[in-house]
């Protein structure tokens, strides 16, 4: 059973009616990032995006930059699907008319992807520090303003020294195999990451006609991964 946080201004069972048929524990809160940061422990966030799509998008992006580790699923109407894009920072979407089996499957998949993450590690390179425990990344002490997916992409690449990943592999590993978008979203996120890394943009290397990689090596005490800039 998962602990769910539903961000909505509506009555809880009006947002996703079939959720009431499942055994998950759901707590409702007003749609604000402050509610997320002050809420008791939860495994997954549901955001009510059925009516005010602009406000829902802004909320998702604020949650993403706040370093919240829990997966985020949007609840939308069928008409709202056309407005959803990768820059929302959501992990998945679900129609408000979805049945209990679909809802349960999406919750399990989101929780399962998070459960496969590797143990906490600090990754360092030429002034860049990625802290998995706090979901933060810094360059020379300055915090990088990353969305959740930007952080996940940076962390995933850095956690696999020297390995080259195709766009399809990155899409599967970072966004999930059930993500309905195209591989272009990987290029968009890499471009944004490089812009935010500034002078350290070369830490994300392009392997022409293949994909992307980090070149890394272990440091002297083995507790970190030291990233070397690509030539």
Of the listed ranges 52-56, 211-215, 226-230, the least confidently predicted one is: 226-230
**What would the DSSP string read from start to end of 61-116?**
HHHHHTT--S-EEEEE-TGGGGG--GGG--SEEEETT--HHHHHHHHHHHHHHHHT
From the list 123, 47, 110, 128, the residue with the least C-alpha distance to 80 is 47
pLDDT at 62 over 90: no
- Please report which confidence band the pLDDT of residue 217 belongs to, taking 50, 70 and 90 as the band edges: very low
List the structure tokens of 216: 């890394």
- Radius of gyration in angstroms for the set of CA atoms belonging to the chain, rounded to a whole number: 18
Rounded to two decimals, the pTM is 0.51
- Please report which confidence band the pLDDT of residue 215 belongs to, taking 50, 70 and 90 as the band edges: low
Q: Give per-residue pLDDT as tens, 85-135.
A: 888 988 899 999 999 999 999 988 887 765 554 455 677 765 678 887 777
**What would the DSSP string read from start to end of 183-211?**
THHHHHHHHHHHHHHGGGGGGSEEETTTE
Q: Give per-residue pLDDT as tens, 178-201.
A: 566 677 889 999 999 999 988 878
Compute how many other C-beta atoms are within 10 angstroms of the C-beta atom of residue 27.
13
Cα(128)–Cα(199) distance, integer angstroms: 11
Q: Which CATH class is domain 122-214?
A: mainly alpha
Q: How far is CA 48 from CA 37, 58, 72, 124, 153, in A?
A: 17, 12, 11, 37, 26
Q: Residue 219: helix, strand or coil by DSSP?
A: coil
More confident call, 9 vs 37: 9
- Token pair 């929780």 is at which residue? 111
pLDDT at 220 over 70: no
Cα(156)–Cα(142) distance, integer angstroms: 21
List the structure tokens of 58: 């802004």
Domain ranges of the chain: 3-116, 122-214
Q: How far is CA 166 from CA 67, 194, 226, in A?
A: 26, 18, 22
CATH fold label, 3-116: Rossmann fold (3.40.50)
């Amino acid at each position: 059973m998962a602990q769910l946080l539903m961000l909505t201004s509506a009555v809880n069972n009006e947002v996703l009616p079939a959720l009431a048929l499942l055994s998950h524990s759901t707590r409702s809160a007003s749609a604000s990032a402050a509610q997320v940061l002050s809420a008791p422990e939860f495994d997954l966030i549901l955001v009510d995006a059925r009516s005010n799509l602009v406000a829902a998008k802004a909320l998702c992006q604020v949650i993403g930059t706040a370093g919240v580790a829990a997966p985020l699923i949007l609840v939308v109407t069928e008409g709202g699907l056309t407005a959803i894009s990768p820059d929302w920072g959501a992990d998945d979407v679900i129609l408000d008319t979805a049945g209990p089996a679909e809802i349960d499957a999406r919750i399990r998949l989101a929780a399962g992807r998070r459960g496969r993450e590797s143990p906490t590690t600090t990754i360092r390179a030429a002034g860049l520090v990625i802290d998995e425990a706090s979901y933060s990344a810094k360059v020379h002490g300055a915090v990088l303003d990353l969305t959740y997916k930007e952080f996940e992409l940076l962390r995933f690449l850095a956690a696999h020294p020297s390995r080259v990943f195709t766009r399809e592999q990155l899409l599967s590993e970072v966004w999930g195999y059930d993500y309905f978008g195209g591989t272009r979203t990987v290029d968009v996120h890499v471009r944004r990451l490089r812009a935010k890394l500034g002078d350290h943009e070369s830490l994300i290397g392009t392997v022409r006609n293949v994909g992307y990689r980090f070149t890394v090596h272990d440091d002297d005490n083995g507790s970190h991964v030291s990233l070397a800039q690509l030539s």
